[in-house]
Amino acid sequence: MTQVVNEAGFVPGAARAWRKPWRPGRGNGFLLIAPLTLLCALFVVPLALVVVRSFSGPQPGLAQYIEIVSNPSTAWVVLYTFWTALLVTAATLLLSYPVAFTISRAKGRLLTVCLAMVLIPFWTSTVIRTYGWIVILQRRGILNDILVGSGLIDQPLRLMNDGSGMQIAMIHIMLPFMILPLLSAMRGIDANLMRAASVLGANPLRQFVHVYLPMSLPGVSAGCVLVFISSLGFYITPALLGGQRTMIAVLIEQQASRLLNWPLASALATILLVLTSALFIIYERLMARLGGGKPVGEVQ
Amino acid sequence: MRATAGTWPVARWGVLGFTAIVLVYLVIPTLVIMPLSFSSESFLRFPPPGFSMRWYEAFAGSADYRAAILNSIKIGVPAASLATVLGTLAALAVVRGKLPGRRLVGALIIAPLVLPQIILAIGLFPVMIRLGLIGTYPAILLGHTVVCMPLVFITVSSSLRSYAPTFELAAMTLGANPWNTFRFVTLPMIKPGVIVGFIFAFTFSFDELILAMFLTSPATRTVPRLLWEQLNFQMTPVIAAATVVLLVLTMGLLLVAALTERHTRAGRRTEG
């Protein structure tokens, strides 16, 4: 089996293959003292405090959670966040699959150009990219100029008020997070299997549905979980492009730093924490199973 | 896929065309900012009515931007260095060690990168207040170290997994103590992973907004926070000029990272 590193860097299987009677660095545990101390003090403890604080407030207990569920505006934000994350995940998958397929087949200069076009936005700051989308999508922005100028519509679209501008930008920001896991799975698919299916009489559609698609599914599920987790926690794009539509992270920030309602902010954060942790565990399991793909970094 | 190409050319060209459209969608927001930064007018009009360098001059002359860039470096370099040391230690222990629950430890170290930063931000804010550090350099520096450590952990782990531990075994059989083994065998082998990890960590810290919003003060304000405040206050092409400069810097750094990786890989190939 080839050496495998997915983008999360986990390959339990590969490490296991080298487990010999004698391992260098048998007593390496002490190396973890410093990293784990930092992690406990500045990650585990703060998160625990958030959870504890979510049960505090004027009436201790579940008061904050009841408030979130019973208040239509907060309940709506939670549901809307979910809906947006689902929508963004589905759209990202549909857009990414053909792109990853093409890149997995590309060679030479075409491959370099395609990869650069995926990786440049990946490494551009979200603030900067959201700013670019504002320029394009605002009322007197490029898109409205083109659409009104060409006579396709009479009134400029209000993309920055109804949440659609935010979704367009979020899909854009999430695309590389879907393309890279897909690519990593697709690079691991042996082209001979498709050839075999073809020899046995399957047309391209059947080859795809019965051979290629099932083999790319680990990449699909890993990418979907990754995009869904990230979409749930979006702050910058909803805050700038969401208009009246708000997502959980924006609400947490408003409650904490503007309204100083820390118990409610903590309860919202706890909901987000539990959801993302659960999904992260699923992702981790998937990554352990996605042992067959080629490492993302090895694509070039 | 010769059969596919021959039988289903339309589908094939459809996929290619679709890919091209998505790739254009990917780069468009970045491309739009560039011409805007050379606009002669202060409103965001596209295409810009005239050419000028005034926004770059305004950017270069701005004390706010200068202070923010300095702050971002003062925070990013120590945070990335600390993250590099700790991330490398953790990767050595998790990849080469024989601890029970290594996967759990690995997942715990990755977690700060995966969880939404807003959760950590509202968790760290009261902790930093109690420690009396809020608004100081150590507060944001430590916060960034926690979220950057996973990046180094990931790159160094994959370096460590790219070669068999028999190299270290050989050194130790020949009488090298653990420190010398690390110094003369492990470190040279994982050096690219360490460098790339440092660059990723620095770029991440340089871009990070949410922790900076909660943990910095006007005196320690970083570049993303300044951009953020300007975006919410008024949108002039100074922001476009600033983002172009930052973009060029970021891309330069990442190019160095990519070349480091490619160089080592090419080197390995010729050696092996």
For the residues A109-115, what does the mean pLDDT come to? 86
* pLDDT value at residue A206: 84
- The structure tokens listed for A29 are 């545990």
Q: Please state, for a pLDDT cut of 70, what percent of chain A lies above it.
A: 87
Query: Most confidently modeled of A11-15, A174-178, A206-210, A255-259?
Result: A174-178
Q: What's the 3-state SS for B79-106?
A: HHHHHHHHHHHHHHHHHHCCCCCHHHHH
Q: Which of A90-94, A220-224, B102-106 has the lowest mean pLDDT?
A: B102-106
Dihedral pair phi/psi, residue A287, rounded to 5°: -65, -35
Q: Is the pLDDT of residue B172 over 60?
A: yes
Of the pLDDT bands very low, low, confident and very high (cuts 50, 70, 90), residue B3 is very low
Structural domain span for residue A202: 81-298
- Give the model's pLDDT for residue A26: 54
For residue B165, give the nearest of A23, A42, A121 by CB distance. A23
Alpha carbon of B25 to those of A9, A160, A169, A220, B268: distances in Å? 29, 18, 10, 21, 37
**Which chain A residue lies closest to B23 (C-alpha atoms)?**
A117
Q: For residues A44-64, give the mean pLDDT.
A: 86
Predicted pLDDT at A290: 60
- Max Cα-Cα span within chain B: 72
**A129 token code pair:** 């990219």
**Joined tokens for residue B208:** 């990070």
For residue A13, what pLDDT is reported? 42
In a domain, A175, yes or no: yes
Q: Tally Cβ neighbours within 10 Å of residue B191.
A: 14
Mean of the pLDDT values across residues A127-141?
A: 84
Query: What's the pLDDT score for residue B231?
Result: 84
Q: Is A88 a residue whose pLDDT tops 90?
A: yes
> Would you state the CATH architecture of domain B67-271?
Orthogonal Bundle (1.10)
Question: Which is more confidently placed, A108 or B23?
Answer: B23
Residue A14 CB coordination number (10 Å): 17
Contacts with A300 from chain B: Cβ below 8 Å: 262
Instruction: Write down the pLDDT at residue A291.
Output: 52
pLDDT tens column, A218-257:
889 888 988 998 899 899 999 888 878 889 999 999 888 8
* Arithmetic mean of pLDDT over chain B: 85
- Chain A CB contacts of B247 under 8 Å are 124, 128
ipTM of the complex: 0.81
Please give the distance of CA B120 from its chain centroid, rounded to a whole number.
Answer: 18
Using the Cα atoms of residue B75, residue B76, residue B77 and residue B79 in order, give the sign of their dihedral. Answer: positive
For residue B7, the model assigns a pLDDT of: 55
Residue B194: both structure tokens together = 């360490």
pLDDT on residue A87? 96
Please list the residues that pair with B51 across neighbouring strands: B39
pLDDT digits (tens, 9 = 90+) for B186-218: 888 888 889 888 988 998 898 899 999 999 988
Alpha helix (H) residue ranges in chain A: 12-17, 33-39, 45-54, 63-70, 72-105, 108-122, 126-137, 142-149, 164-186, 191-199, 204-207, 213-232, 236-241, 248-253, 262-289
Cβ atoms < 10 Å from Cβ of A205: 12
- Sketch the domain layout of chain B as residue ranges: 67-271
Give the pLDDT confidence of B41-87 residue by residue, as tens digits. 776 666 777 788 888 888 888 888 899 999 999 999 999 999 999 99
* Interchain proximity B207–A127, CB inside 8 Å: yes
Residues of A in contact with B5 (CB under 8 A): none
The strand pairing partners of B135, in sequence order, are: B216
The answer to whether residue A160 sits within a structural domain is yes
Q: A32 and B105: CB-CB below 8 Å? A: yes
Q: How far A42 CA sits from the closest chain B CA (Å)?
A: 7
Q: How far apart are CA A77 and CA B65, in angstroms?
A: 35
In chain A, what residues touch B46 (CB-CB under 8 Å)? Answer: 135, 141-142, 145
**What digits encode the pLDDT tens for the residues A22-47?**
444 456 778 888 888 999 889 999 99
Tell me the pLDDT of chain A averaged across its residues: 81
pLDDT of residue B6: 53
Instruction: Using pLDDT thresholds of 50, 70 and 90, give the confidence band for residue B270.
Output: low
In this model, does residue A216 exceed pLDDT 80? Answer: yes
Residue partners of B79: CB distance under 8 A and separation at least 6: B140, B141, B142, B144, B145, B148, B201, B202, B205
For chain B, give the percent of residues with pLDDT over 70. Answer: 92
Here the CATH number for the domain that contains residue A92 is 1.10.3720.10
* Confidence (pLDDT) at A293: 38
Task: Judge whether residue A8 has pLDDT over 80.
Answer: no
SS3 A154: coil
- Residue in B closest to A7 by C-alpha: B154
pLDDT at A2 over 70: no
pLDDT per residue as tens digits for the range B212-259: 999 998 889 999 999 888 888 777 788 888 888 888 887 887 788 778
Share of chain A above pLDDT 90, in %: 23
CB pairs under 8 A between A and B: 300
Number of domains chain A contains: 1
pLDDT at B124 over 60: yes
Secondary structure of residue B177 in the 3-state scheme: coil
pLDDT at A143: 83
Residues 6 or more apart in contact with residue B205 via CB below 8 angstroms: B72, B75, B76, B79, B80, B144, B148
Evaluate whether residue A4 is within a structural domain. no
pLDDT digit string, tens, across residues A144-154: 888 888 878 88
* Cα–Cα nearest to A124, from A265, A236, A21: A236
Say whether pLDDT at B118 is over 90. Answer: yes
